[in-house]
Amino acid sequence: MTAEAPARGDILSVSHDRLELQPLLDELTEPSCGALASFIGTVRSPNLGQEIDAIDYQGYEPMILSEMRRLADELHARHAIARLAIVHRLGRLRPGEASLLIVVSAGHRGPALLACQEALELAKSRLPVWKYETGSAGSAYVPGKADAGPTL
């Protein structure tokens, strides 16, 4: 795991190994924070009626990290949160395996839950990551979203 540790203590990283939520929860827990919100995204099967064997997650790693830092800046500006962790896994994942972890610590539950969901939606629309899915219907890139920037 390539960990980033900006001054705020956010954990923004890309991992090629199995994701573990508990170390992030331990890291972000602190007495001044009454709320810790977390999300785990996992590989789903069946997906759109197709049994899935595996998803190969591909990404533009330096830009994933740059974009995570920008997302973190926006979330800190909009919500009263203390720290944020976003970890995206790349490589070949099987159904049920975790592909994305998000943890937010805050003084209170409202900002923690809101920022957690917002971090998830921003991560899905902005991180340069692609899914190549292999299943009963063959292999193909999963249709994605082009909301993050202007297109050609």
Partner 1 sequence: MRVKVLLFASLRQAAGQSELELELPDASSVRTAADVLRGRLEELRLDGVMCAVNERYADPSTALREGDTVAFLPPVSGG
Chain contacts with partner 1 (rule: CB under 8 A): 41, 57-60, 62-63, 66-67, 88, 99-100, 120, 123-132, 141-146, 148-152
> What's the closest the beta carbon of residue 93 comes to partner 1, in angstroms?
12
Q: How many Å apart are CA 24 and CA 101, to the nearest integer?
A: 9
Edge-to-edge order in the sheet of strand 35-42: 11-15, 81-89, 98-106, 35-42
Nearer of residues 41 and 95 to partner 1, judged by Cβ = 41
Nearer of residues 32 and 77 to partner 1, judged by Cβ = 77
> What's the closest the beta carbon of residue 126 comes to partner 1, in angstroms?
7
Nearer of residues 29 and 125 to partner 1, judged by Cβ = 125
Nearer of residues 76 and 131 to partner 1, judged by Cβ = 131
Whole-number Cα distances in Å, 14 to 4, 86, 115, 127: 10, 9, 20, 11
Terminal C-alpha separation, the chain: 34
> What's the closest the beta carbon of residue 62 comes to partner 1, in angstroms?
5
How far is C-alpha 82 from the chain's CA centre?
A: 18
For residues 117 and 102, is the Cβ–Cβ distance under 8 A?
A: no
> What's the closest the beta carbon of residue 29 comes to partner 1, in angstroms?
25
User: What's 16's DSSP letter?
Assistant: S
Nearer of residues 18 and 145 to partner 1, judged by Cβ = 145
> What's the closest the beta carbon of residue 86 comes to partner 1, in angstroms?
11
